[in-house]
Chains A and B, each alone.
Chain A
């Protein structure tokens, strides 16, 4: 598939979750099904950057590859897996358009 033709992926944090950083590790619990997650450092960066406006590819490129010295292919693959899993639990909202009404925030 020609990647140039692929639509961008935008991600936003759902407001139907509880979240807090504990000792550098992000804890997230879904209000919908009480699934409890902890995110590693890389996943936490993606989560915190999920503002609904920044494309996932840009988050990966600017935040993951640079900060963690991971190759773009590996980082993009891991990020897509992570986004897919959290979106299945309603923890991340995913769209091919910017998600403008996201009110999510985190601490």
Chain B
């Protein structure tokens, strides 16, 4: 195990929130078709409020800090917040669409010692990217900003979300990342909107595309091992949990609400009214999340994928229960290995099967 992995385990064992993701705003200059946020400002935290929280996070032991949004540069104080965070010696990553990053901003991010800047690019074709962001010219501006950031020597990652509207461009987008000399991440997860609207889920790619992705050595780092059938489930698996949300990581919204993860909309408290550590250590919801082990999961505890599934408790929560299955991850496990999950088998068994022709015996 890597040193970093060991530190994560140590943080989990000690109950230290090693990783925090803060959205500093939900405002955005793009209107991406798959975005789960609304973009109104409903009273986001002030500069001082965020600085106060950063002080609390440093005291609580947070090391990895992700600034995201919305678009972070919609806040005029964003670089001031990064500067403050770096003075507190956080490892800072920034997620942005990059359209407001020019040479000066790139230089400042480098001077501040930001660890990585992650930019969303959905296609190598400007017309497809711009159609997804609904901001004309956004592809050029984002690619230009990647070049500014690279020229400063910053580590840059290109982040793509695989959807029905860009799946045909995945390889081209990956090639663009190579050409730009930046790392590449691909996520096939489209989540319901924050208000519960599930209409954007029709952007999720179909199963055949997942099969293709999982067989791609470059993407998964060795498809043979990645697609191997799951190892037998043992006691260690049953006593463990599948995700660090609430264990060593959490999410803070622009309004100060604290959740186990950006993808886990279970309210646990608000840093405008409570101390962060009070929420982290004493919130009943946070403690409930932490109490759930694989053996407590209603369906997944009997699943052969229990030890290798990427089960997201947040998606499970949005599906109905944080102890239940996350169907998205069931399908990933199935398409990765060809072995259906316990949840899929259960659903299949519950689906009534009727004979095509029903013959009733003649009444005597």
Chain A interface residues (CB < 8 Å from chain B): 15-23, 25, 27, 29, 31, 34, 36-38, 103, 105-107
Chain A to chain B contacts (Cβ below 8 Å), 12 pairs:
A16-B113, A18-B92, A20-B58, A20-B62, A27-B7, A31-B114, A36-B3, A37-B3, A38-B3, A105-B89, A107-B59, A107-B89
Q: Which residues of B contact A106 (CB under 8 A)?
A: 89
Q: Are A20 and B87 within 8 A (Cβ)?
A: no
Q: Does B182 contact A (CB under 8 A)?
A: no
Annotate B72-90 by CB proximity to A: 1 below 8 A, 0 otherwise: 0000000000000011111
B4 contacts chain A at the CB level, 8 A cutoff: yes
Q: Are B89 and A22 in contact (CB under 8 A)?
A: no
Let me know if B155 is at the binding interface, CB within 8 A: yes
Q: Which residue of B lies closest to A33 (CB)?
A: B155
Q: State whether B90 touches A18 (Cβ < 8 A).
A: yes
* Least CB separation from B113: chain A residue: A31
User: Per-position contact with A for B14-31: 1 when CB-CB < 8 Å, else 0?
Assistant: 101010000000000000
Checking A17, A19, A23, A105 against B14 with a beta-carbon cut-off of 8 angstroms, the contacting residue is: A23
Query: Of A22, A29, A38, which is within 8 A of B91 by CB?
Result: A29
Beyond A34-B155, A107-B88, is A27–B63 a contact (Cβ under 8 Å)? yes
7 closest Cβ pairs, A-B complex? A18-B91, A31-B113, A20-B63, A16-B113, A19-B89, A107-B58, A23-B14
Which of B7, B113, B114, B115 touches A22 (beta carbons < 8 Å)? B7
The answer to whether A17 and B58 touch (CB under 8 A), given A34-B155, A105-B87, A105-B89, is no
B42 at the interface (CB under 8 A from A): no
Query: Among the listed A22, A37, A103, which residue makes an inter-chain contact with B10, where contact means beta carbons less than 8 Å apart?
Result: A22
Report Cα–Cα, A105/B89, bound state, in Å.
8
* B47-102 contacts to A (CB < 8 Å): 58-59, 61-63, 86-92
A22-B16, A29-B63, A103-B87 known; 6 new pairs, CB 8 Å cut-off, are: A18-B89, A19-B89, A23-B14, A34-B155, A106-B89, A107-B59
CB proximity of A27 to chain B, nearest CB, Å = 6
Q: How far is the CB of A38 from chain B (nearest CB, A)?
A: 6
Q: Bound complex: CA of A98 vs CA of B141, how far in Å?
A: 45
Is B303 an interface residue when CB atoms closer than 8 A count as contact? no
**DSSP majority for the A interface?**
strand
- Determine if B11 is an interface residue (Cβ-Cβ < 8 Å): yes
Quick check: B114 and A20 within 8 Å, CB to CB? no
Tell me, in angstroms, the Cα distance from A29 to B92 when the chains sit together.
Answer: 11
Q: What are the residues of chain A within 8 A of B90 when measuring CB–CB?
A: 18, 20
Nearest neighbor of A31 in chain B, beta-carbon distance: B113
Q: A23 near B16 (CB under 8 angstroms)?
A: yes
- Nearest B residue to A106, CB-CB: B89
- Which residues of chain A have C-beta atoms less than 8 A from B3's C-beta? 36-38
Whole-angstrom distance between the Cβ of B13 and the nearest chain A Cβ: 8
Contact yes or no, B113 A17, CB < 8 A: yes
Chain A residue numbers with a CB within 8 Å of B113 are: 15-18, 31
Query: Counting chain B CB atoms within 10 Å of each CB, which of A20, A29, A31, A107 scores highest?
Result: A20
A53 to B87, CA, bound (A): 20
Q: A29-B115, A107-B88 are in contact. Are A22 and B59 (CB under 8 A)?
A: no
Contact (Cβ within 8 A) A38 B7:
yes
* Residues of B close to A25: CB separation below 8 A: 10
A35 vs chain B, min Cβ distance (A): 10
Chain B residues in 8 Å Cβ range of A38: 3, 7
- B63 interface neighbour in A15, A18, A31, A34, Cβ under 8 Å: A18
Residue of A nearest to B64 (CB): A18
Say yes or no: A17 contacts B18, CB within 8 Å.
no
Bound Cα distance A66, B114 (Å): 38
Given contacts A23-B16, A34-B155, contact A18 B61 (CB under 8 A): no
- Shortest beta-carbon distance, B335 to chain A, in Å? 33
Q: Closest CB of chain A to B86's CB: distance in Å?
A: 8
* B54 CB, min distance to chain A CBs, angstroms: 11
Partner among A15, A18, A19, A36 whose Cβ is within 8 Å of the Cβ of B4 = A36
Whether the Cβ atoms of B89 and A17 lie closer than 8 Å is yes
Interchain CA distance A18-B63 in the complex, whole Å = 7
Query: Which A residues are in CB contact (< 8 Å) with B14?
Result: 22-23
Residues on A with beta carbons closer than 8 Å to the beta carbon of B62:
20
Q: Within 8 Å CB of A17, what residues of B? A: 89, 113
A17 to B90, CA, bound (A): 8
- A20 and B89 within 8 A (CB): yes
